[in-house]
Amino acid sequence: MPSGRCLWMSMSSLRKPWRNVSERCRTHMNDSADTVFVSRTMTPMSMEERKKRLLDELRRMGIEESILEAIAKTDREEFVPERYRRDAYANYAQPIGHGQTISQPYTVAYMIQLLDLQEGHSVLEIGAGSGYNAAVMSKLVGAKGRIVSVEIVSSLAETAKKNLRAAGIDNVEVVQGDGYEGHPSGSPYDRIIVTAGASEIPDPLMEQLRKHGIMVIPVSVDGYQVMTRVLKDDPPRITRHGEFRFVPFR
């Protein structure tokens, strides 16, 4: 095979909407399995160059500038396992252990965009993961805002705390617990974001959402996980925003 082409490619990759061959030749990890692509010709890039490339890609995909600025201020490589740091700014999910992943950067950005975060907002996040999502949101709610992130896996909760502390972020509280029940002591919240696939919108989370607040949650619909935005009104206003893939709510 000529130099500069992929040495190996899984059939699943052919179904993905890759922008070009060079995108397809990067190391690729998805939520369910490890798929590796290797290129014989790869020019080394600095982390800042990789970040800029990601930001340019997200901009083309319709992500707002305020969110891009928050992502630019957040070093994603500090929130992925050491072995994957080289690909921290690739636009795909990466495993963080315990069957969990750090979501694809586009998914993170898109969900945050649906949240319509404002300075001073209080946010409940279900699924802290490595802490990256909360780190990006912390830039948008500012010093007057607060984020409570609930993580059911105790070791991941500790990892998220460590990562956020190392990043100098002090407006995020990570709590180990069952995300389905939320975190009532901090309610009501202006915004709630759920980073795992749910079979339904949990009643406890709706109860903890402030009136006219917004929840963004992937919900199973006819066998697919559909990004769902709920505006708490009477009755609630629910809109759907495309199909995604997440690890299941647990």
Q: 223 near 211, Cβ under 8 Å?
A: no
- Alpha-carbon Rg for the chain in angstroms: 18
Alpha helix segments (H runs only) across 116-226 = 132-141, 154-166, 203-208
Crossing angle of helices 105-115 and 65-72, rounded to 10°: 130
Residue 97 has what DSSP assignment? E
Pick the closest to residue 229 from 190, 201, 197, 187 (CA basis): 201
Annotated catalytic residue, options 12, 103, 149, 155:
103
Q: 201 near 228, Cβ under 8 Å?
A: yes
Is 103 annotated as catalytic? yes
Alpha helix segments (H runs only) across the chain = 21-24, 47-60, 65-72, 105-115, 132-141, 154-166, 203-208
Euclidean distance between CA atoms 139 and 117, whole angstroms: 10
Residue labelled with tokens 């586009």: 106
Lookup: tokens for 33: 């399995």
Q: 185 near 146, Cβ under 8 Å?
A: no
Pick the closest to residue 106 from 59, 145, 73, 151 (CA basis): 59
Residues involved in catalysis: 103
